Amino acid sequence: MNAIKHIALAIFLGLFVIGCGNKEEKKKEGFTYEKKQDEPKEQVEDNMTNLVISGNDQMKFDKTELRVKAGKKVKLTLRHIGKLDKNVMGHNFVLLQKGVDLMAFGIKASSARDTDYIPEDATNDIIAHTKLIGGGETTSIEFDAPEPGEYEFLCSFPGHYALMKGKFIVE
């Protein structure tokens, strides 16, 4: 009886292994196939870093440091969680090039009211910026993460750079 049981078990295991082997092969083929099909979409998702930062009516960002990996695409979403109008408590997100003095930029930007406090002659100072938004609004931008290093960001609405600023670190 025992011998028969063992033989039966051996056959069963044998079939099981063969079965699994086949399954795995099929799975692998399927996987390769699927991967090929999805490659462009996957690459975009893998390569995108989503950052969300909020500004409020107390003239503050909820984050003073943002981190991304070099070579990534960045999708940055700015949310104004306050209620005040953009003429009173407008917020934007401005990422400065390395070496640009934040305070000097803030002062220059405060007189650029016609262009929502983004100085027209300062495009070389800026890596990326959102538009100016008021309470309850949300806006997003996409840009390529710059070279590894430390950068600074601010809200360029007049006077806000004193409180609304932080470090943008590319690793």
Min separation Cβ 91 and Zn ion, Å:
4
> Which one of 80, 129, 160, 165 is in contact with Zn ion (CB under 5 A)?
160
Cβ atoms 153, 168 nearer than 8 A: yes
Using CB under 5 A as the binding rule, whether residue 157 contacts Zn ion is answered as yes
Among residue numbers 76 through 115, which ones bind Zn ion (CB under 5 A)?
A: 91
Distance between CA atoms of residues 139 and 131, nearest Å: 7
Distance between CA atoms of residues 135 and 8, nearest Å: 74
Nearer to Zn ion, 130 or 145 (CB): 130
Nearer to Zn ion, 109 or 164 (CB): 164
Q: How many residues bind Zn ion (CB under 5 A)?
A: 5
Nearer to Zn ion, 78 or 170 (CB): 78
Instruction: Decide: residue 108, CB within 10 A, 0-12 exposed, 13-18 middle, 19+ buried.
Output: middle
Using CB under 5 A as the binding rule, whether residue 165 contacts Zn ion is answered as no
* Residue 164 backbone phi and psi in degrees, to 5: -95, 85
Cβ atoms 112, 123 nearer than 8 A: no
Q: Tell me which residue has its CB nearest to Zn ion.
A: 155
Nearer to Zn ion, 2 or 58 (CB): 58
Q: Which residues of 135-168 are buried (b: 16+ CB within 10 A; e: fewer)?
A: bebebebeeebbeeeebbbbbbbeebbeebbbeb
> Which one of 53, 128, 155, 170 is in contact with Zn ion (CB under 5 A)?
155
Min separation Cβ 123 and Zn ion, Å:
20
Nearer to Zn ion, 73 or 134 (CB): 134
Cβ atoms 102, 136 nearer than 8 A: no
Residues forming the site for Zn ion (CB under 5 A)? 91, 155, 157, 160, 164
